[in-house]
């Protein structure tokens, strides 16, 4: 009775986790932890269906042995492997002598891990099989590791338990996929908007994509979180969206801008902020987008922010944007040599730019990640 209560607690705990995150990796990792807890097994693994290739691909396994063992495995959806058979038929299997099963995928013996007993169940969403969940090597009730020939068997009750869990795992996987698709569509829409605005200015073609690339390259050397990287990418995509409100004659002018024209051009960060501030999905991005022309010493615009008052993503975009502006050719000047532009960025460390961002820029440049001409420092 106590074991049943514990199993129910594990299921409820996992269900709560599903409602707390849409992060794909976190959901799948927790699914395997729940599998090992519920089934009291040595390890667990998850395959997902690649519908375009009609194959299963290994997604993740619990424990370093499993990760090293199967990270590149792809299986046909047929009866030449246990997981492939389950995906093909939609039938759950208990196999208590895996080594002698003709469908056992022999490559899974590599790396020192041996599959002895197994439950393999399909993941189903809306009557489609979207993957396969496996529990491997049921553990004995005593803590000592058994010999190869004395591992306990899995039973029907274990299979029913894993099937119950698989329903929740399938929901989690499908929801995270839908969330990923929605997020991708959102990014694609933002990129299309930025590209449409860029078409107004024939002299800055490709600028946005380069600023995104340079910003992300700088961030590689800053130990940012996945969320910060996502915000940075969005901010870089949209950093010039306010130029939609700038007169075409200014954007397309082939000579240097006069004072009045510069005043209008300098309004684009605030315009972009005003346009996008009501978009819920951008609330953590627009402040950084508005501030990419602020300066570390407080002499920038539009708010004259100083130091860490400037949002982090704006400080990164500022370096990337300035570097691209210097190396790009305009009608009224030729683009600078990348090494000369590099030296200008370094010279402005602590005045125009955050010193820590410049340090990361130097690393990115020295590793050849800042486009043409980077990678060598004299």
> In angstroms, rounded to a whole number, what is the distance separating the alpha carbons of residues 341 and 175?
45
Backbone dihedral angles phi then psi of residue 79, each to the nearest 5 degrees? -90, 20
Interval 67-93: pLDDT, tens? 444 556 788 899 999 999 999 999 999
Interval 147-202: pLDDT, tens? 655 678 999 999 999 998 898 888 888 888 888 888 889 889 888 888 888 777 66
Interval 279-298: pLDDT, tens? 888 888 999 889 999 999 99
Backbone dihedral angles phi then psi of residue 205, each to the nearest 5 degrees? -55, 130
Domains of the chain: 2-142+149-177 (3.30.450.40), 190-366 (1.10.3210.10)
Side by side, which strands form the sheet with 93-95? 74-76, 55-61, 41-50, 128-138, 118-125, 93-95
Closest alpha carbon to 319 in 354, 289, 350: 354
- Are the beta carbons of 197 and 243 closer than 8 angstroms? yes
What is the helix (H) or strand (E) element at residue 264, kind and residue range? Answer: helix 259-265
- Are the beta carbons of 272 and 290 closer than 8 angstroms? yes
Q: What is the pLDDT of residue 306?
A: 97
- Are the beta carbons of 41 and 138 closer than 8 angstroms? yes
Alpha carbon distances (Å) from 113 to 15, 32, 143, 148, 366: 30, 17, 19, 12, 42
Interval 310-363: pLDDT, tens? 999 999 999 999 999 999 877 777 889 999 999 999 999 999 999 999 999 999
Give DSSP secondary structure letters for 291-317.
TTT--TTS--SSS---GGGS-HHHHHH
Catalytic site positions: 243
């Amino acid at each position: 009775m106590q074991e049943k209560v514990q199993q129910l607690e594990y299921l409820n705990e996992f269900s709560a986790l599903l409602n707390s995150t849409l992060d794909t990796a976190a959901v799948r990792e927790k699914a395997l932890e729940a599998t090992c807890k519920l089934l009291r097994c040595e390890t667990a693994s998850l395959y997902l269906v690649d519908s375009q290739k009609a194959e299963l691909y290994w997604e993740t396994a619990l424990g370093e042995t499993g990760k090293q063992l199967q990270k590149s495995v792809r299986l046909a959806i047929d009866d030449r492997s246990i997981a492939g058979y389950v995906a093909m038929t939609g039938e759950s299997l208990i196999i208590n002598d895996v080594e002698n099963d003709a469908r056992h995928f022999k490559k899974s013996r590599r790396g020192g891990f041996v599959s002895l007993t197994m439950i393999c169940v399909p993941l189903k969403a809306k009557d489609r099989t979207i993957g396969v969940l496996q529990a491997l090597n049921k553990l004995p009730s005593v803590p000592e590791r058994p010999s190869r020939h004395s591992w306990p068997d899995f039973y029907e009750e274990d299979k029913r338990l894993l099937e119950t869990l698989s329903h929740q795992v399938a929901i989690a996987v499908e929801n995270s996929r839908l969330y990923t698709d929605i997020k991708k569509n959102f990014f694609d829409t933002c990129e299309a908007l930025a590209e449409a605005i860029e078409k107004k200015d024939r002299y800055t073609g490709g600028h946005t994509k380069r600023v995104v690339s340079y910003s992300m390259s700088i961030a590689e050397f800053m130990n940012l979180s996945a969320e910060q990287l996502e915000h940075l990418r969005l901010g870089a995509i949209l950093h010039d969206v306010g130029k939609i409100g700038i007169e075409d004659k200014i954007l397309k002018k082939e000579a240097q801008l006069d004072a009045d024209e510069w005043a209008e051009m300098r309004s684009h960060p605030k315009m972009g902020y005003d346009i996008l501030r009501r978009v819920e999905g951008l609330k953590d991005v627009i402040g950084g987008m508005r501030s990419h022309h602020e300066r570390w010493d407080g002499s920038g615009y539009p708010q004259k922010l100083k130091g860490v008052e400037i949002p982090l993503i704006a400080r990164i975009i500022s370096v990337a944007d300035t570097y691209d502006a210097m190396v790009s050719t305009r009608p009224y000047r030729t683009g600078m040599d990348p090494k000369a532009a590099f030296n200008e960025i370094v010279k402005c460390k602590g005045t125009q730019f955050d010193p820590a961002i410049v340090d990361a820029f130097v690393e990115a440049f020295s590793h050849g990640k800042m486009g043409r001409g980077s990678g060598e420092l004299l």
